[in-house]
């Protein structure tokens, strides 16, 4: 079964987000292209040392079980430009 973003969000809402919420975290879908889902952990899960394991054992496991056509779930761990700009403004640094 090929999952649409909406169907993937439903699985995340039902099976993944409740577990992440216990740790004050969440997950954001960045893209679904060529059967590869890219996600970012947010909240207190962002940057957590166990983020890779959370992706493999929770997010990827649930998504691949529901949608076998999804071949990989990639955790994107980069800082957004928006966040970097906000930090620079707070510190009084130029962009």
Q: Up-side HSE of residue 14: CA atoms within 13 Å toward CB?
A: 9
For residues 4-27, average pLDDT: 96
Residue 1 clears pLDDT 60, i.e. is over it:
no
According to the model, what pLDDT value does residue 2 have?
Answer: 58
Residue 29 clears pLDDT 60, i.e. is over it:
yes
Taking the C-alpha atoms of residue 62 and residue 58, their distance in angstroms, rounded to an integer, is 6
Are the beta carbons of 58 and 35 closer than 8 angstroms? no
For residues 20-27, average pLDDT: 95
Q: From the DSSP assignment, how many helices (H) and strands (E) are in the chain?
A: 5, 3
Taking the C-alpha atoms of residue 65 and residue 3, their distance in angstroms, rounded to an integer, is 11
Residue 94 clears pLDDT 80, i.e. is over it:
no
According to the model, what pLDDT value does residue 48 have?
Answer: 86
Topology of domain 5-91 in CATH is GMP Synthetase; Chain A, domain 3 (3.30.300)
**Sequence spans of domains, the chain:** 5-91
According to the model, what pLDDT value does residue 77 have?
Answer: 86
Q: What is the pTM of this model?
A: 0.79
């Amino acid at each position: 079964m090929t999952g649409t973003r909406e169907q993937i969000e439903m699985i995340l809402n039902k099976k993944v987000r409740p577990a992440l919420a216990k740790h004050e975290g969440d997950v954001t879908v960045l893209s679904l292209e060529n059967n590869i889902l890219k996600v970012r952990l947010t909240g207190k899960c962002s940057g957590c040392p166990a983020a890779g394991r959370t992706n493999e054992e929770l997010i990827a496991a649930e998504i691949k079980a529901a949608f076998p056509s999804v071949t990989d779930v990639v955790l994107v761990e980069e800082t957004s430009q928006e966040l970097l700009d906000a930090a620079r403004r707070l510190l009084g640094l130029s962009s």
